[in-house]
Amino acid sequence: MSEQKATVLFDQALNLEFSEPLEALELLKQVVRDYPGTLTVNNYVLDSIIRIAVSNALWDEAIEGCNVAQSLKPEFKASYSLEAEACRLDKMGKRVEATEIRYKKDTLFGEWFGTVRDYGTKFAQLGANDEAWGLYNKAIVLSVKDNQSPHTVREAMAALLLSENKPIQAAELILLGIEEAEKYAKKGMPKSLSSFLRKNLRVLGIKDAVRAEELVNECKTRGKDKAVQLLYTFLGKN
């Protein structure tokens, strides 16, 4: 019966998550107080409190949620302790440092290329480009080691190069991503790469979409180096 009541309140809280986050948090905290030993609290409620609080920059609520979670789920104390530390840093406006702590938390049990790539992007969005490049390069190594295509990392790297006003280098990376996708991805090159290349070429002043198709075909049939040569021909650099 307690499990059912906890689940009902949990569902009510989730329905309020975006419209009334403070009310949602109060409902979730009530579930923890009234039904602390339930699977609903252990598996869903505690993490939902932290997620909603963090999403709404309610740092004191998030820290309190982490502290409660450490008490009720001691086997995950290290993770919740790190999240609490990250929230304290966020409260102080130290977003890069908070992200570094969350990276540590999310790689406690190992580094996977998707996680490493995503944190690279988080750092890039914060303007911490050195940290971003370090993680992107690590993600490339991890993806190849796992025999997975690193093209999503190349695309993220190219976006960072564009933000650094390096469109030629970005285009070269996208072409490399196309070559790698053809080699590693089960379905070959995804459309996102050709779309990104078209956008990149427009930045370089090449607005004819046919040029992008020619580069993609050159990359697929003759490789990245030949495609880069063709790119430089389009740019009048050969």
pLDDT in tens, 124-157: 999 999 999 999 999 999 998 988 899 999 999 9
Distance CA(19)–CA(52), nearest Å, equals 11
Pick the CATH number of 1-109 from 1.10.101, 3.40.30, 3.30.1120, 1.25.40: 1.25.40
Among the CATH numbers 1.25.40, 1.10.3470, 1.20.1250, 1.10.1060, which is that of 111-238? 1.25.40
Chain mean pLDDT for the chain = 95
Q: pTM (2 decimals)?
A: 0.92
In angstroms, the CA 47 to CA 109 distance is: 18
Outline where DSSP puts E strands in the chain: none
Cβ atoms of 91 and 83 closer than 8 Å: no
Q: Domain residues of the chain, as ranges? A: 1-109, 111-238
Residue-wise pLDDT tens digits, 7-39: 999 999 999 999 999 999 999 999 999 999 899
Return all residues near 93 (Cβ < 8 A) that are at least 6 apart. none
Spatial separation of the C-alpha atoms in residues 128 and 89, rounded to whole Å: 16
